[in-house]
Amino acid sequence: MENISIKTRNASLNQKLWTPYQPVQRLVESVIPDNALVVEVGPGPIAFQRGTEFIDWQPWPNLADKKTHYLDLNKDSLPYAEKSVDFVYYRHTLEDIYNPFWLCQEMQRIAKAGYIETQSPVAEFCRGIDGNNDDFPPWRGCMHHRYFVWNDQGILTFLPKYPIVEYLNFGEEENEIVDLLNSSSMYWNTHFFWNESIELKRLEHDQNFEVNVNYNEVLRRAMTTSVSMNSEFSTQHNIPI
């Protein structure tokens, strides 16, 4: 992995994890049966090696010789019958689109099981993880991401990434976040296996559109929960933290 030094207040981020983390990738590959129909959603320039078919919103050179469906992931039905797909894989897709809940609904419809990976709230809150040099604007997380996503005790939880996040200041905790990301690649992502169905939660407002979350408190809790769940995931699957 290329080491890149990014100044974030007083701490320095010395790595960026954009590509799949190989110990986790091997774990996902190991749970997929032989000869399974494996559909990857949103492969982009790096396709999942066990993928047999792919779904994306635009063509990519690496998909030129692969069976690929192109559609709007926010609203289009996926071109498979109910539970006809053995395993669906989507990595760093849900946090990008404006209607991830439709996509999750479709994934549950067509697939028997799957794996979801998104950027973790820890990485999404950190400044300096986007871009390729020190001149890139120091926004929190990736500028094109719309949601914080984390695994809260088996519930895939979403919080809209409002512009207000740029004005939050967690003081010394911000340096601790950088130190945590430097300490292990496991903390960069949310890891979520599912079978038959996905339990989802969106934190924002109630049915009367009254805000029912304290953004600061929810983010702190999201990051704490993410760290705890990733540590548990690491221990459960024997992946070094």
Identify whether the C-beta of residue 95 lies closer than 8 Å to the C-beta of residue 147. Answer: yes
- Mind listing the pLDDT tens digit for each residue in 149-171? 999 999 999 999 988 899 999 99
For the chain, give every domain's residue range. Answer: 6-11+36-236
Mean pLDDT, residues 49-69 taken together: 92
- Mind listing the pLDDT tens digit for each residue in 38-54? 999 999 889 999 999 99
- Mind listing the pLDDT tens digit for each residue in 140-154? 999 899 999 999 999
| Distance (Å, whole) CA 201 – CA 152 | 9
Lowest mean pLDDT among 50-64, 113-127, 182-196: 50-64
| Distance (Å, whole) CA 155 – CA 97 | 19
Residue 175: CB partners within 8 Å, gap ≥ 6? 8, 9, 10, 11
- Tokens standing for 50? 């066990």
pLDDT level of residue 212 (50, 70, 90 thresholds): low
- Mind listing the pLDDT tens digit for each residue in 95-134? 999 999 999 999 999 999 999 999 999 999 999 888 666 6
Lowest mean pLDDT among 54-68, 122-136, 200-214: 200-214
Which residue in 162, 139, 142, 151 sits closest to 215, CA to CA? 162
Q: Give the pLDDT confidence score for residue 7 in this predicted structure.
A: 47
CB atoms within 10 A of CB 173: 12
In one-letter notation, the amino acid at residue 21 is Y
